Chain A
Amino acid sequence: MSPHLSEETRARAVELLGLYPHPRSALIPICHLAQEQDGWLTPEAMAEIAELVGLSPAEVLGTASFYDMLHTEPVGRYLVSVCTNIACMLRGAYELLGHAEEHLGVRSGGTTADGVFTLEEAECLADCGRAPVCQVNHRFFGDLTESSFDSLVDDLRSGRLDDVVPPHGTLVRVRRRGGLRVDDETVAVERARTAKAMAERAAQSGGAS
């Protein structure tokens, strides 16, 4: 079976594995990587991640399905998350959500037939000062009105916001160069150092008790 994750994704995943004392700790960061590749976590990706981190596919799905920001179903090119928490709600979030549903022609949680938009309801997005707020692929748009929402949709469709809104799944738009670029040897050294430190700590606490 040829791997589903691209060579680059796999390479970055291996680097991430090196940053943690237990491989399974890298599960969520690697899920984000895979999501960056496909826009959502495909079953093939989850099965491959399971192998990478030494868990079962069911455990990967268990974790992935727990978190809202990890998607185990296909997501449109743009994920529109409308906040309906208190500040936004008081400033008309539900009306805005209702309008968005009508305008996009999908219910919250659904994806438009052309696969461009997925609409969802979100809890506080921590931008209450500009309520009501929505995120598109995790980029903020505040002080929304029904008409500004419509023009946001227009801009997204026409590609005018391509510079601002990356494809869904991308958390870090300008990925820091080098920060994650660790070679295998450094990873191995780091692993060994952590293991040693852990062993020492264990020995100490064992001796003390």
Chain B
Amino acid sequence: MADPTVTSHHGIAPRSEPGATVQLTIDGVGVTAPAGQFLIAAAEDAGVFVPRFCYHPRMKPVGMCRMCLVEVSGPRGATLQPACYVPVAEGMEVVTTSEKVRKAQDGVLEFLLVNHPLDCPVCDKGGECPLQDQTLAYGPGESRFVEEKRHWAKPISLSELVLLDRERCIQCGRCVRFAAEIAGEAQIDFLSRGDAVEVNVFEDHAFSSYFSGNTVQICPVGALTAAPYRFTARPWDLDQVESTCTTCAFGCRVAVQSSANRVTRLLGIDTDPVNQSWLCDKGRFAYEAVNSGDRLTEPLLRRSRDGDLEPATWAEALAEVARRLSAVRDAQGPDAIGVIGGARLSNEDAYAWTKLAKGVLGTDNVDAQLGDGLPAELVLGLPRATVDEACRASCVVTLSGDLREELPVLFLRLRGAADAGQTRLVELCHRSGPLSALTAASVVVRPGELAGAVEALVAGPGAAPATLDAGALGAARAALSAAGEGGEGVVVVLGRPSLAEHETVVANAALALAAALPGARFLPALRRGNVMGALEMGMAPGLLPGRVRLEDGGEALAAAWGAVPAARGRDTAGMLRALAAGEMRALVLVGADVLGDFPDRRLAADALGAAELVVAVDTFLSSSSAHADVVLPAAGPHERSGSTTNVESRVTRLGQKLVAPGQSWPDWMVASELAARLGGDLGATSVGELWDEAERLAPSLAGCTRAVLDSDAGRDGVVVPLRRAGVGLPSLRPSRRIDPIATPGIEAVERQGAPPRAGLAERVGGDEAPGAPAGRTAAPPPASVGLPTGFAGPEVAPASPGSLRLVTARRLYDDGALVEASESLTALAGPAVALLHPDELRRAGVAEGGRLRLRSGRGELLVDAVADPGVPPGVVQVPFNLDGGDGSGASALVDAGAAVTDVTVEAP
């Protein structure tokens, strides 16, 4: 239910008429403020800081701590009122500095300190603590309290990640409000009453929310601390840079803080169009992988066919790669070489690798997606929506996996929009999930029936497959048609609901939606780091940088690059098949673990086994790179500058904070050096130059210059393509004001003299002035790939009797390299279990919790079975890339060549 007092970023209750303003005075100065704005925000906008603890600009105010008391005029004279809870009103006279206010502040702080342990010297918050700072500025110099303070065990673990010292808690309620209001899972709450009150979990339940780290970020004292950060640093020893999280493709803006060339923590930056200050725990804590001792630090080379990988010099390794790639190219042609991966790269890296593969090597076998995404033409060709547009759309259709698992902060944004009544959600899914309770309709679709479901959704009740819930379908149709004619006001969040269902099934369903709802726009829910940047840069078969099809833009680019591939190449599945069949010989894995991430493990293994040459450019020795003949160590997150692109194609800057370990190189440099040894020349000697060239050649990036990205206007990033010249750029506005108490950790380090800004121009190629790009000749082709009419793929065969349809989807904590190398997260990756309808479990003769053997045409898997009435009969759901206990996961079962994978289940 929509609450009328929901606050927006600027502390405005949306009840008030948009655009209406009121006049008031604050400390005698006339101020115009938006109607409905809370006093504390109006004062801040007017440059008057009112001290506070419980108020957070991204949450509803509660007026709990009383730190923000100010004098407000009223019919009975001036009274003390909480500025965070009182909206501005016409003619209001507000005084924030009177003796009365000062006394109130003094009193509130004295009370807060009554039970505060004052153990600042051993407290993580020391040096960035709003309680310290505000006591110094507004509080009593001395305490009159001589009695015994209350005592609690120090600290207790609320989860693997979050610790709580209840003695330090000032009961501001920020953490419990975040859990209930923003994350929607009230796993923590205030227990007891009076001086016994404490924040805690229920019994032995863990605070297992994927968003728990945010409570640490916003706790205004040292009560909540993060296990990985605890006792590792003092804020005054930290340095920081503003960057973007590339753990998933949502692209949350972060302040990366480091000390002695190690990341010490990540804090979410309040970026209005993206993460609004929140992060997920994986994004927040996966920096441990960056610091990990398991990182690759030197090139490795297999000097004989059956030999081990041995350390080598870059010169030796690069020469070997160049020699063997040339040999394959000379013997079989460029088409025998493929490049898989690219989502780990920055935009500039991706541009360099595309240019190397397509321009120098001459192969179009390039794919940034590992068979777990959607066809690039679809992603780039559909009319696009931004995240903000989705959150304001009348109706949002999610056709994706569980967004909390795949793009956690996008989940938060959509959840918030639905909870505030801004948008109605319609879910097309294989099993209801954490958004379902907030949806207008949750339509559970079985694998293989998506086409029918979409048809029924847009065409009418007659078309509905019998297995669909008619009620849910009706509600979904109602929400769609209420949004507007022909899909106006509809945004489709489009991902892959299951990796056991062929991508063309989803792609064709999306085309059907787009055709029936011409007004609808799409937000791709692809989850891999910078997958969107890689696609923009042309890391997909048949594409060139800037959303240009090979057949449309080949000539223009050939002029700039010297050459482009003659014909469209293969996608990842095609490459793996060709390698396995001996039609291709060499594979370059650019940060791609095909064994772990490609849905069909057997195909990936066959391909790696058959390849004559496998080169891996990676940060870790993954299961796939361990098969490589040459392994080249690459720079990881926070070790490179450049830019990245998120799901809405927002280009943001990456800040470099660390020097990459050992001899690791940024990926573009690897590409550049390889090009030189392959008789080519990438023609760029810095990240900045690469961007300049990409901006000049890629139509979708036109106008998004370094100068724009580095300007104040580009601080939150820029969505490409710029919608019209000049439009689409955020309006120029003064440097963002950061509420110092909202995220104390960022403010404190900034005060130390480490401003978080990082610009491409300052960090890289600082000697060149970022000016207007020179040398643009002819108008580039339009930035649109155009939509195909259909995607040819396998047909859905009827399920054989007695078999179940497999659904497999990503979990946030999986067995991927990132989680495995992040100590604190590893324990959170649970073992895989199979979810089945209780009837199916009974039919298989397996007890709840018992072992279950799943068998498909590709392989088999042993997992524990859990009965789940939310899974429809005829379906079995197994998480992807998570060990079921016998060393393999769902990818042992998936048949990449089939529309859907059917499995039989039995007791082992």
Q: Which residues of A contact B (CB under 8 A)?
A: 43, 46-47, 55-62, 65-67, 209
Contact A43 B187 (CB under 8 A): no
Complex contacts, B202 vs chain A, CB 8 Å? 43, 46-47, 56-58, 60-61
Contact B203 A57 (CB under 8 A): yes
Query: Per a CB cutoff under 8 Å, which of A43, A46, A55 touches B186?
Result: A55
Known contacts A57-B203, A57-B205; is A66 also within 8 Å of B192 by CB?
yes
Q: Shortest CB–CB separation between residue A52 and chain B, in angstroms? A: 15
Contact A62 B185 (CB under 8 A): no
CA A43 to CA B201, docked complex, whole Å: 12
Complex A-B: 23 CB contacts under 8 Å: A47-B202, A55-B186, A56-B180, A56-B185, A56-B187, A56-B189, A56-B202, A57-B202, A57-B205, A58-B188, A58-B201, A59-B180, A59-B186, A60-B202, A61-B202, A61-B203, A62-B189, A62-B191, A65-B192, A66-B191, A66-B192, A66-B193, A67-B193
CA A66 to CA B15, docked complex, whole Å: 33
Contact A62 B190 (CB under 8 A): yes
Contact A61 B193 (CB under 8 A): no
CA A60 to CA B200, docked complex, whole Å: 12
Complex contacts, A47 vs chain B, CB 8 Å? 202
CA A96 to CA B177, docked complex, whole Å: 44
Query: Per a CB cutoff under 8 Å, which of B180, B191, B203 touches A43?
Result: B203
| Chain B 1-25 per-residue mask, 1 if CB under 8 angstroms from chain A, else 0 | 0000000000000010000000000
Interface residues of B in 713-756 (CB under 8 A from A): none
CA A209 to CA B190, docked complex, whole Å: 36
Interface residues of A, dominant DSSP: helix
Contact A58 B186 (CB under 8 A): yes
Q: Shortest CB–CB separation between residue A5 and chain B, in angstroms? A: 17
| Count of chain B residues with a beta carbon within 8 Å of a chain A beta carbon | 16
Contact B191 A61 (CB under 8 A): yes
Residue of A with least CB distance to B184: A56
Q: Shortest CB–CB separation between residue B312 and chain A, in angstroms? A: 55
CA A21 to CA B192, docked complex, whole Å: 26
CA A55 to CA B437, docked complex, whole Å: 13
List the 10 closest pairs (A to B, CB-CB), nearest first: A62-B189, A57-B202, A56-B186, A58-B202, A58-B189, A65-B191, A65-B192, A43-B203, A66-B193, A59-B186
Complex contacts, B201 vs chain A, CB 8 Å? 58
CA A47 to CA B203, docked complex, whole Å: 10
CA A56 to CA B192, docked complex, whole Å: 16
Interface residues of B in 166-202 (CB under 8 A from A): 180, 185-193, 200-202
Q: Shortest CB–CB separation between residue A61 and chain B, in angstroms? A: 5
Residue of A with least CB distance to B193: A66
Contact B205 A58 (CB under 8 A): yes
Contact A58 B193 (CB under 8 A): no
| Chain B 288-330 per-residue mask, 1 if CB under 8 angstroms from chain A, else 0 | 0000000000000000000000000000000000000000000
Q: Shortest CB–CB separation between residue B158 and chain A, in angstroms? A: 11
CA A31 to CA B381, docked complex, whole Å: 56
Q: Shortest CB–CB separation between residue A22 and chain B, in angstroms? A: 9
Residue of B with least CB distance to A72: B191
Complex contacts, B15 vs chain A, CB 8 Å? 209
Contact B193 A65 (CB under 8 A): yes
Complex contacts, A58 vs chain B, CB 8 Å? 186-189, 200-202, 205
Complex contacts, A66 vs chain B, CB 8 Å? 191-193
| Chain B 474-516 per-residue mask, 1 if CB under 8 angstroms from chain A, else 0 | 0000000000000000000000000000000000000000000
Complex contacts, A46 vs chain B, CB 8 Å? 202
Q: Shortest CB–CB separation between residue B26 and chain A, in angstroms? A: 26
CA A76 to CA B285, docked complex, whole Å: 47
CA A13 to CA B90, docked complex, whole Å: 48
Q: Shortest CB–CB separation between residue A4 and chain B, in angstroms? A: 13
Complex contacts, B189 vs chain A, CB 8 Å? 56, 58-59, 61-62
CA A60 to CA B201, docked complex, whole Å: 11
Complex contacts, B186 vs chain A, CB 8 Å? 55-56, 58-59
Complex contacts, B188 vs chain A, CB 8 Å? 58
- From A58, A59, A67, residue with most partner B Cβ within 10 Å: A58
CA A62 to CA B198, docked complex, whole Å: 9
Q: Shortest CB–CB separation between residue A208 and chain B, in angstroms? A: 13
Complex contacts, B205 vs chain A, CB 8 Å? 57-58
CA A17 to CA B201, docked complex, whole Å: 25
CA A61 to CA B204, docked complex, whole Å: 12
Residue of B with least CB distance to A46: B202
CA A209 to CA B13, docked complex, whole Å: 14
CA A65 to CA B186, docked complex, whole Å: 16
Interface residues of B in 186-240 (CB under 8 A from A): 186-193, 200-203, 205
- From A59, A60, A62, A66, residue with most partner B Cβ within 10 Å: A62
Complex contacts, B187 vs chain A, CB 8 Å? 56, 58
Interface residues of B in 550-601 (CB under 8 A from A): none
Q: Shortest CB–CB separation between residue A45 and chain B, in angstroms? A: 12
CA A105 to CA B193, docked complex, whole Å: 27
Interface residues of B in 145-174 (CB under 8 A from A): none
Q: Shortest CB–CB separation between residue B180 and chain A, in angstroms? A: 8
Residue of B with least CB distance to A54: B437
CA A66 to CA B193, docked complex, whole Å: 5
Complex contacts, A209 vs chain B, CB 8 Å? 15
CA A55 to CA B205, docked complex, whole Å: 15
Complex contacts, A43 vs chain B, CB 8 Å? 202-203
Complex contacts, B185 vs chain A, CB 8 Å? 56
Complex contacts, A56 vs chain B, CB 8 Å? 180, 185-187, 189, 202
Q: Shortest CB–CB separation between residue B389 and chain A, in angstroms? A: 26
Complex contacts, B191 vs chain A, CB 8 Å? 61-62, 65-66
Residue of B with least CB distance to A22: B1
Q: Shortest CB–CB separation between residue A200 and chain B, in angstroms? A: 16
Q: Shortest CB–CB separation between residue B172 and chain A, in angstroms? A: 16
Complex contacts, A67 vs chain B, CB 8 Å? 193
CA A67 to CA B200, docked complex, whole Å: 17
CA A56 to CA B121, docked complex, whole Å: 36
Complex contacts, A62 vs chain B, CB 8 Å? 189-191
Q: Shortest CB–CB separation between residue A100 and chain B, in angstroms? A: 23
CA A152 to CA B26, docked complex, whole Å: 66
Q: Shortest CB–CB separation between residue B408 and chain A, in angstroms? A: 19
Complex contacts, B193 vs chain A, CB 8 Å? 65-67
CA A209 to CA B4, docked complex, whole Å: 13
Q: Shortest CB–CB separation between residue B20 and chain A, in angstroms? A: 12
Complex contacts, B180 vs chain A, CB 8 Å? 56, 59
Known: A56-B187, A58-B186, A61-B191. 12 other contacts (CB 8 A): A43-B202, A56-B180, A58-B187, A58-B188, A58-B189, A59-B180, A59-B186, A60-B202, A62-B190, A65-B192, A66-B193, A67-B193
CA A59 to CA B180, docked complex, whole Å: 9
Q: Shortest CB–CB separation between residue A123 and chain B, in angstroms? A: 12
CA A80 to CA B202, docked complex, whole Å: 28
CA A66 to CA B205, docked complex, whole Å: 20
CA A58 to CA B200, docked complex, whole Å: 8
CA A183 to CA B455, docked complex, whole Å: 41
- From A47, A56, A60, residue with most partner B Cβ within 10 Å: A56
CA A209 to CA B20, docked complex, whole Å: 14
